[in-house]
Structure 1
Amino acid sequence: MLLELSTTIKHYEQGSYICTQNQDFNKIGIVLKGKVMCSRTCLCHNATFSHILKMYETFGEDLVCAGHDSLPYDVIALENTTLLFIKVKDLLLLGHPYSPYINKFLINLLSLIANRHLISTEQIEYTRIPSLKRRVAAFLLNQYEQTGQLLFTTSLSRCEMASYLSVTRPALSKVLSELKKEEIIDYYKDSFKIQNLDKLMQL
């Protein structure tokens, strides 16, 4: 399929900006190696929304369907990263019946955009909770509902979890420590155990 498209592979060092907010951008970026963060600052609410992308995850796909030609967020390499870029124009022009691989790619792309929208909506809902303790509780309860288990492991590191909830890492660590002292939860790294579900729900 890549032979049918105009693609570019680029390498970025840790901490470097891949793209900046409002920069012209007409590609889809795929993480081949490393990890990147998409971050957008909302001045009217004085909040920063961010999303961590790992290997084989993408960015810029929202621009494909929206028809925009500039990024609404910064893209930063969190570690040494290799990216594959696919030109949007070529992708759309090649979506023909005689190209089944491209058609399948477009279907998967639409599914990805829909799922990403659900995640973004969920993140916004968290930021609307004024109490940090309740915000963390809501996140943990959501993880519990998704897994059906009181003991679960999140896909986010502590730093990523703080970014996802739009709080600082020290503030998040303080709340988690308080919940642990109150014997509502226990945790180790990215693993959590809800010890008192009723109390957690009442926060």
Structure 2
Amino acid sequence: MARPYMNKIARRQMLLDTASGIVDEYGWNTLSMISLAEHGGVSRQLVYQNFDSINTLTEQTASYMFEELYTETQDILRKHSDDIVVAITKAQHVLFSFPEGRVQALWALLADNTSHNTPFSAVSRRYRKLISDLYTPMISRTMNIDTQHAGQVAWLLMMSFWGGQQLIHDKTISKTKSLELIQWYIERLVAGCKASKA
């Protein structure tokens, strides 16, 4: 039976959905032009028409997977710009709403520590900066620190955020406990900053 016709945009969407599904289930190392063709039920030629190399495929799949998390986090920070504890707690709830495979794939992307010369590490650094930049203004304002320092603190906070998710994955703590701990951690960090400035 022939596949129904898809226009270029719908076909690309289908390929990115399929690529994301591969990464969610098997990890980044299994994503390839061949695996995408096989899982998508399309020819390799069609895959190459949409992605000229594995680097392009990896980068665009990462962008596709990251976009929802980024957009929802951005919206939360805009709505709760005056309360860093509420903002980060709500952002963690967004992460909890994702399937486990997606969470692990995003964690692998953000926590990549391979050679700086690989395309994957370049994508990883770009998204680490995007996330840090999201939180930097709020941290700078809340903790009364300069932008550079706030950007560094932002990433340290995000590592705590994702570390809590890893503890959940390892079944060391519950989601509820993770939320309690991150809230406790941020409250004390903010209080310490305010005390040191007094």
When normalised by structure 1's length, the TM-score is 0.26
When normalised by structure 2's length, the TM-score is 0.27
Higher percent of residues as strand: 1
